Structure 1
């Protein structure tokens, strides 16, 4: 009885027949399902004992018969080729930022969609990107191979408003018994300088992060208090290169395993509440999971 042997090559099935290691390489690994494969063992006239059998894999049933070299014996194997590998969707990038009015074609982001068995595959695109309105959007690509294995990939697109260049000016704002004076492009945010100044005025105060931010906002007539993620609703997310003093910063993880908010004051620094025993301090804006900058009232 043939004994199956483990093989490192997924495209080769090996069996032991007597003392002989037989490799079945003639089956079709590109078609899932059951296949019949036959192996001939042919006795030869060689006097060398180690070479007295010739092994040959064939794909059709050859009946046992006699010829000049001896007897050919045929073994039949039932092989099952299974395909449980999902298709592969390769994208040029998974995040992009465009400006309102720019052209957008989701197919431009696809490098290749294929399956290791079926080759190149068709795919579907589910997109809600609106290039006429600023916002955050998602595009989902899906593919299914011939054996029903599915795969999906996502592209996240930020459509931003075209920003007008403003001359740099010095902003001076007061709030909560303190002042903030610094260089900032405050023209794109009506509240930036005031929020930053109000945050700095709270240095040393013992309070949590949301109290710090809510107090700074209140100095500008914005009365709002929520869990950290709630502050994302107050404005528009901007990139780190566009961040300005007075922007609110949201962290999915502030470094202690919980969400956090702070107020950006420029030069990579922020005012943090709930820091060092709940004290309000100046520290790096780049902590924990990393900052998400929110332009208030933009």
Structure 2
């Protein structure tokens, strides 16, 4: 719960006249039975009982040590301190807007009676011994900003766009629906890190902002192909070429050429980065009918055609 410190101000030149039944009316004439009261304006936070207790503290001179809420309804809040009972009538903290609130302070049995003198900013309505009733106009406001629910960052392959709007949501203590806007450009065709500002706004105008990072990375399979090309000229056998290429995407595996069949699904439509398995040989496909082969011409790593002196078995599309 957010604690809001309240401040009471006195409206200049605005008065209410109270008649029997303690009903507030504006009056152009007044009788001797009417009491002229200044309107005491103050604010409370939506669904915040602590802000209402602050109003009670500010409305009475008495020491309200240990003040706490004991009961709440849709039209009243009951409190008590070590020495007093307090009832706030006409207040609904679940509803925003101006509310005419009657605060009644009652001395607990066995305690000294209340002093007769009242502060000039409040008016005693009840003359019952041991009680004091004051009226305030409370403006209940929604001051709590929405909460944004999303990941701190997202990762996508180059050329693959994300629907960020579906990945970001917001909730509010009062409103069922909250508007979320996104500000920022992401170039999904260019590798890099991009920031998007998400802003959630509720119906009361409270806002929350969160920065979300979108990391556009080289395509998973392109990483494998690039890692294979980076090894050109290295002296190694064919299995080490493929093993080192797969490390670029976090796959740690080494085995016989046929063992690489277990790393994905067999495909007839290879993309750069797929594995080519032959009888007793393995390579990395880089597109356009070419592949990077290890163990070639005296264990060199070279670019050559897919066709070689070994029997072709399958293209393997590596599982992410």
Report the TM-score, using the length of structure 2 for normalisation: 0.37
* Higher radius of gyration, 1 or 2: 2
